[in-house]
Amino acid sequence: MKGFSELIDKLLLTSSRNRKIDILCDYFKNTQDPDRGFALAIITNSLELKNIPISKIKEIVRENVDAELFALSYDYVGDLAETISLIWPYKENGHLPQISKMISILKNIKKDELSKKIETFLSIANETERWALIKLISGGLRIGVSSRLAKTALAKFGDKKLDDIEKIWHGIEAPYETLFKWLSNLGPIPEIDLKKTFNPMMLANPIEENDFTNINSKNFVAEWKWDGIRVQIILDDFNIKIFSRTGDDITQTFPEIKCLQKELVILDGELLVGRDYIPMNFNTLQQRLNRKKVSLKHIYDFPAFVKLYDILYLNNKDLREKNWNERRTILESWYCKNKNRFFDLSKIINFNSWKNLAEIRKNEIIDDQHEGLMIKSKYSPYIPGRPKGYWYKWKKDPKTVDAILMYAVRGHGKRSSYYSDFTFGLWDGNQLSPIGKAYFGFNDNELKILDKFVRNNTIKKFGPVREVEKTFVIEVAFDSVNSSTRHKSGVALRFPRIKRLREDKPISQVLQLSEFKLEFL
Amino acid sequence: MQWINENLYISPINTYIDPYKPVENAIITHGHADHAKPGHKNVLATKETINIMKIRYGENCAENFQELPLNKTLKIDNVKITFYPAGHILGSVQVLAEYKGEKINFTGDYKTKKDKTCENFEPVRCHTLVTEATFGLPVFQHPNEHNEIKKLLRSLQLFPERPHVVGVYALGKAQRIMGLLRQQRYDKEIFIHGALEKLCNYYIKENVFLGKFSKTNLKDKKEYQGEIILAPPSAIKNVWSRKFEDPIICQASGWMSIKQRAKQSLVELPLIISDHADWNELTDYIKLTRAENVYVTHGRDEAIVHWCKMNKINGLALSLSGREDEEDL
């Protein structure tokens, strides 16, 4: 546990991405199997210990620490694992088992010896080990390391391509011994079972103004960027599996979608809700996401279907090396033979020049259905990740609103001495109500102006948060607005960024929240 | 006990302890800004505290200063006042007041751990203890300060190309860190932010060993590779820190035991070194004084009052205004 706890402690306190990668590389280099594999699984959230409820840990602590003192401490510290690690009153000599051993002990622990074992572990551990142990049991490290970052570190450690790691990632599991063998050049790339495994998706880059002059419209096709959720569908042996873009299995959330295939077919598309292949807006789709139980009423009111973009496998054959033209032909012919109400082809938009496409984008976009346009090279293979030069997204123009700067927090890394994370709000009667946060969109010069304003106009401090004088108007751009029960204002902006500083604008001209909702929601 | 009130006012002699606004008669426990304010008429304090006040606020920050050495009793009317070292910073004291045979001890800020940069703490028996509680929660159990300093030295070995900028309070903490580094035989020059200079010089004048140090002068960034630079937390948050290339931001404070707090403050290397008593020191001292009444001036008072109740001692929170938490980044 010592090595693992020191690792996550270091990762927590390091804000530089490159440095985090170095820390992980060092750990992989200096740690044996299977410990490093289990650590990797915990960091990437691929391993959960579900058998020990966190309430049990609380109970153990309450038996050993005065309840009132614990409550006051927890209230002050705010993080359960930290509170327990700092307040635990006993100290015993000894060493905690290695991380792999610890996981197997915790997994197989018997109910009647649980309390005693955990108490012993807590007493043997130092503060950081206790913190790591409780994080391990409660799940969800929250140390600022994404699984993408961990994989980037693996690629660097083994001098391998990140894409290759992504391709096999969802087919391997802890303690990843074959993976480390391959990364250390002691074995071949691990073989995975395609039929169960999510294949990382190909993603698009936002198109920039000068891209249009550099790429020839004749080599590209366009289609709508549908405003749903991107999915991968794996059909095999009369089974279906649906994965989200990040590889989460969401089959259970959409039980109505069916398609029977004997041999392996893997499709790429956009999941939407609606009838007759006409999508309802994203807000409606959200009603069906993140639900543990799906009611028949939901399925009836908001039936799901998929607009197909691409095909990765047909009858066990990998098509990803083929170019888009070839894959599209295969997709169309598969679609004709297997038509059902859950699948529709995402149609190709005809255009003859970029100028022509710009007009289409301007005139034909449907706000509730489209996020914008996709532009794809006819000659693009299907490459996981976000390769340059093949796929572009051309989002619809953002909406904008003038809002008032309310709070600011310092940024990370290079920006750690600048106030660069901003909360802004609109009027709600004669009070301000925060509607969102943004930490980009401005240039370096604008950042300096904002930073200076925050420093000179702070009226209150809450820990790291500064509340500022409500005098500064900023123009906020955003993709869309969702209604939200989680936010006090009742709205959540998608992809908000600061477009312009409007120091000239008086705060009285900023919208009321109710006006904003009427216009955008 | 009618002769003192919740504002730390000793009525028989018309005197306040650490008043937060100007008064006629003030006893000052130590020089930190939330205890020592300018503008009083008469100030009674140790020589060191008086000098520190003059350095910070100017020669005329009070009309009259009266020195009282440690362990000497001064009788004012019917009240006896004695200073005992509080071990917090140079010149810091606990104030024992005795009236009609009843003893009240005001701790000011204190720590019982040894510290080479000031007089070490001395315990005092009393009937009533008026205590601080900055770290008055059982989650605060400060580790050995030498081990914490070793963390800093280890990091210097690991990252010899990065400047180590350590956030420290200008009075007390800065000099303690310098002293602790010297105890670990770190004999390189230590660089300090300009705001620390006068107080460091004063410590030297009082024969506290700080070794060689000089003010940062940021012309050549490379000059500070692998060096230790001490600066007030406000400077680290500020434009000033942009002058260093790829610094490791460290912070020496009791709060640093809370990882999330360190992370929020963007501290990469937290050093848990405090000039205040931790939970065990606070509760041990309450027991040691055998006080029947404990009044908590500031800090996490609820937990201490609750602990007193558990131990059958009368506890009361005074919640004095104007007291700040230890250096918060």
DSSP B15-30: EEES-SS--SEEE-S-
Residue B106: both structure tokens together: 């005001």
Nearest to A278 by CA among A387, A385, A378, A368: A368
pLDDT of residue B220 exceeding 80, the answer is: no
Q: Say which CATH number the domain at B244 has.
A: 3.40.50
Per-residue pLDDT reduced to its tens digit, B2-26: 899 989 999 999 999 999 999 999 9
pLDDT higher than threshold 80 for residue B1: no
Is the domain of B20 the same as that of B102?
yes
Residue A302: both structure tokens together: 């908001």
Enter the DSSP assignment of A505: S
The per-residue pLDDT for B329 is: 39
ipTM > 0.90, yes or no: yes
Residue B199 lies in a domain: yes
Give me the number of domains chain B comprises. 2
pLDDT the model gives residue A357: 96
Compute the average pLDDT of residues B108-112. Answer: 96
3-state secondary structure A374-418: EEEECCCCCCCECCCCCEEEEECCCEEEEEEEEEEEECCHHHCCC
Domain check: are B15 and B78 in the same one? yes
Question: A361: alpha, beta or left, given left = phi > 0 and alpha = psi -120 to 50?
Answer: alpha
Reported as a single tens digit per residue, the pLDDT across A411-456 is: 776 677 789 999 999 999 999 999 999 998 999 899 999 999 998 8
> Is A78 within 8 Å of B307 when comparing Cβ atoms?
no
Say yes or no: B188 and B261 in one domain. yes
Say how far apart CA A18 and CA A153 lie, in whole Å: 9
For tokens 């250390």, the residue is A184
Q: Is B238 on the interface with A (CB under 8 A)?
A: yes
Residue B326: pLDDT over 60? no
With an 8 Å Cβ cutoff, are B139 and A78 in contact? Answer: no
Expressed as residue numbers, the domain containing B31 is 9-139+276-317
Q: B249 pairs with which residues across the strands?
A: B165
In a domain, B292, yes or no: yes
Is residue B126 located within the same domain as residue B182? Answer: no
Q: B83 and B172: one domain?
A: no
CATH number at residue B13: 3.60.15.10
Please, what's the largest Cα pairwise distance for chain B?
Answer: 65
CA pair distance A246, A334, nearest whole angstrom: 26
Determine the 3-state secondary structure of B157 from DSSP: helix
Closest approach of A95 to chain B, Cα-based (Å): 19
Residue A146 pLDDT: 87
pLDDT at residue A104, rounded to an integer: 94
Contact in structure between B89 and B171 (CB atoms under 8 Å): yes
Are the Cβ atoms of B303 and A69 closer than 8 angstroms?
A: yes
pLDDT of residue A413: 61
Kindly state whether residues B58 and B87 are assigned to the same domain: yes
Question: How high is the pLDDT of residue A427?
Answer: 96
pLDDT for B325 beyond 70: no
Same domain, B204 and B234: yes
B91 within some domain: yes
Q: Is residue B87 part of a domain?
A: yes
Domain identity same for B309 and B260: no
Whether residue A13 and residue B141 make contact (CB cut-off 8 A), yes or no, is no
Q: Return the sign of the alpha-carbon dihedral for residues A125, A130, A135, A141.
A: negative
My answer on whether B212 and B229 are in the same domain is yes
Question: Is the pTM higher than 0.80?
Answer: no
Interface residues on A facing B, Cβ-Cβ cutoff 8 A: 9, 12-15, 65-66, 68-69, 72-73, 76-79, 82-83, 86-87, 89, 127, 131, 410, 412, 416-417, 455, 463-464
What pLDDT is stored for residue B155 in this prediction?
95
What is the predicted pLDDT for the residue at B236?
87
Cα(first)–Cα(last) distance of chain B, in Å?
39
Asked, for residue B67, whether it belongs to a domain, the answer is yes
- Judged against a pLDDT cut of 50, whether residue B327 lies above it is answered with no
Cis peptide before B22 (omega within 30 of 0): no
In whole angstroms, give the CA distance from residue B146 to residue B116. Answer: 12
- The answer to whether residue B327 is domain-embedded is no
Q: Does B302 have pLDDT greater than 70?
A: yes
How do residues B51-100 score in pLDDT, each as one tens digit?
Answer: 999 999 999 999 999 999 999 999 999 999 999 999 999 999 999 999 99
Residues near A148 by beta carbon (within 8 Å), at least 6 away in sequence: none
Q: Which residues of B295-329 are buried (b: 16+ CB within 10 A; e: fewer)?
A: bbbbbbbbbbbbbbeeeebebebbebeebeebbbb
Instruction: State whether B100 and B47 are in the same domain.
Output: yes
Of B92, B27, B126, the closest CA to residue B277 belongs to: B92
Residue B13 contacts residue B23 (beta carbons within 8 Å):
no
User: Do B246 and B162 belong to one domain?
Assistant: yes
B309 touches chain A (CB under 8 A): no
Q: Please tell me the distance in Å from B76's CA to the nearest CA on chain A.
A: 41
Listed as ranges, residues in chain A with pLDDT below 50 are none
Q: What is the dihedral of CA A146, A147, A153, A158, to 10 degrees?
A: 180
CA A63 – CA A45 distance, rounded (Å): 30
Say if B109 falls within a structural domain.
yes
Evaluated on CA atoms A39, A44, A49, A54, the torsion sign reads: positive
Domains of chain A (ranges; CATH) run: 2-138 (1.10.3260.10), 205-395 (3.30.470.30), 399-520 (2.40.50.140)
Q: Is residue B149 located within the same domain as residue B239?
A: yes
**What's the distance, CA B163 to chain centroid?**
26
Task: Answer yes or no: is B323 within a domain.
Answer: no
> Is B309 a residue whose pLDDT tops 80?
yes
Of A66, A76, A131, the CB nearest to B259: A131
CB environment B77-95: b (16+ within 10 A), e (fewer) = eebebbbbbbbbbbbbbbb
- Looking at residue B324, its pLDDT comes to 60
The sheet carrying B248-252 orders its strands as: B213-215, B190-192, B228-231, B164-167, B248-252, B269-271
Separation in Å, CA of B223 to nearest CA in chain A: 20
Confidence of residue B238 (pLDDT cuts 50, 70, 90): confident
Region B270-283 average pLDDT:
97
